[in-house]
A = this chain, B = another copy of it.
Amino acid sequence: MATDSTADTGETYAALVEHVTRMTNVQNAAGVLNWDQQVMMPDAGTPARSQQTAALSAVHHELLTDDDLAGYLDALDAGDLTPEQEAVVREVRREHERATRVPGDLVEEISETSSNALPVWQEAKGEDDFEKFAPTLEKLVELKREYAHHIDPDRDPYEVLFEEYEPYLGLDTAERVLERLREELVPLIDDVADSDADLASPFAGTYDEDAQETLVRDALDTLGYDWDRGRLDTAPHPFSMGTQFDARVTTRFNPEDPLDALGSTIHEFGHATYTQGLPQDHYGTPLGESRDLSVHESQSRLWENHVGRSRAFMDRFGPTVNDDLGTDVAARDLYEAANQIYPDNLIRVEADELTYHLHIILRFEIERDLLSGDLDVSEVPQVWNDKMEAYLGVRPETDAEGCLQDIHWTNGAFGYFPTYSLGSVLAAQLFAAAEDDLGDLDEKTRAGDFDPLRDWLVENVHQHGCRYTTDDLVEEATGEAFTADYFLDYAHDKFGDLYGL
């Protein structure tokens, strides 16, 4: 009897894996279509491409919610599974349950409302007229509240939505971490603003695209990007896309600031390296998929900030920068230029490593209160501006530069923003743990020896795919729970040194 049941479990599990692998393949096909749309497709292709993407999304949704899958999951409830199999079942069940609880009509209404919201938001932003966008935002808040209610009527809707992007860290942890960031970063940024340190701005004039492309390709070579399983292209908004067999990077060039492309290419390198480090044997199931947004962002931020913006990296890579751009900038000046803090910047996507988090915290607080009903949509501009003033000492003069600047709410993506900051925090924790194991990483950076760090990340993060929940993964990799300590130490050290605090 026991043998029979094991055999059944084996068969059912195999059927589950086949089903899930098809879902993954459909989703990855959509990823290729999206890459193509942003990198290769002529604009006129949009009407057909939107339909193709929607069709794949519908196919994926049907596979995720269908009765076969429900049957496999039920049957495996009683089965005797290995820890790896249990992880696959856990991840698939979670997604299946969330998807089945929300009525199709509501999913469609949200998708339609978002589509229609885009031009409304663009117009409102263009005309600096929040009133134009307010009814749409209100509708999206209501719909997403309803959406959360279907998934779990007994919990705070914002918590449920947050778990869409970061299922395992818990909103309470996120809240605690973000509060601590606010408490410590606001005074630190104040000190920076008051400092009379004058950081170097060594670049003047413009730098042509070919030279900048050579520069970012050299950076990818230096860091060890696996070109055999990837490629570099340009896109209006840099992103990375792919699988462990083919993980691509995109970048863009700002003629006046070559460090912009360098930083964003290294950021995307971090994402792509995570993808390339996923186990090939498990392609198709959650064991071969990356963990959620905070972990993904930790990989990009670790390489972008802890490596790419370090003094050690500028010592190593500075000569290449000068060769490629025809400049003669000292390593210390490159380091300073890459780490300027701009407290009076209003725009999140242009923010530096410190103020960025205040931009995020402000959004987090607003969307959390919007979803709970503690804040009315009409109050958003006022609250936004008050918080900007309180956190960064600067007040937007227009809503276009204030609460209308981001596209995220237009997509109904409430709960997404915090993962950006959580990623930075985790990056610092992982970097510290790697240094504990490997010794001084700056020394290795100066020697151009990036393999140990990359291998450490593969071994401790990438190769696990979704085997562990995010909190378990953090614990496994670093030996302690998720904490802001390392990020704050790093921030105080680095910017204290740079600004003579």
Contact = CB atoms under 8 A, between A and B. Distances in A.
A28 B52 contact: yes
Interface in A213-256: 227-231, 242-246
A38 interface: no
A51 B283 contact: yes
A25 B51 contact: yes
Nearest to A55: B25
B245 A44 contact: yes
Contacts of A230: 42
Given A32-B32, A44-B228, A58 B22 contact: yes
B246 A51 contact: no
A115 B41 CA distance: 31
Interface in A49-88: 49, 51-52, 54-56, 58-59
B48 A29 contact: no
A282 to B, nearest CB: 12
Given A33-B29, A36-B36, A283-B51, A246 B56 contact: no
Contacts of A33: 29, 32-33
A56 B32 CA distance: 13
A205 interface: no
Nearest to A226: B44
Contacts of A58: 22
A308 interface: no
**Copies of chain A in the complex:** 2
Contact of A52 (B32, B35, B55, B231): B32
A47 interface: yes
Main secondary structure of the interface of A (DSSP, over half): helix
B29 A52 contact: yes
B26 A245 contact: no
A55 B29 contact: yes
Contacts of A244: 48
Given A22-B55, A245-B48, A42 B283 contact: no
A40 interface: yes
A52 B25 contact: yes
A28 B48 contact: yes
A65 to B, nearest CB: 15
A243 B52 CA distance: 11
A326 interface: no
A45 interface: yes
Given A26-B55, A26-B56, A40-B40, A246 B32 contact: no
15 contacts: A21-B51, A21-B55, A22-B55, A22-B59, A26-B55, A26-B56, A29-B33, A40-B231, A42-B229, A42-B246, A44-B229, A45-B242, A45-B243, A47-B283, A51-B284
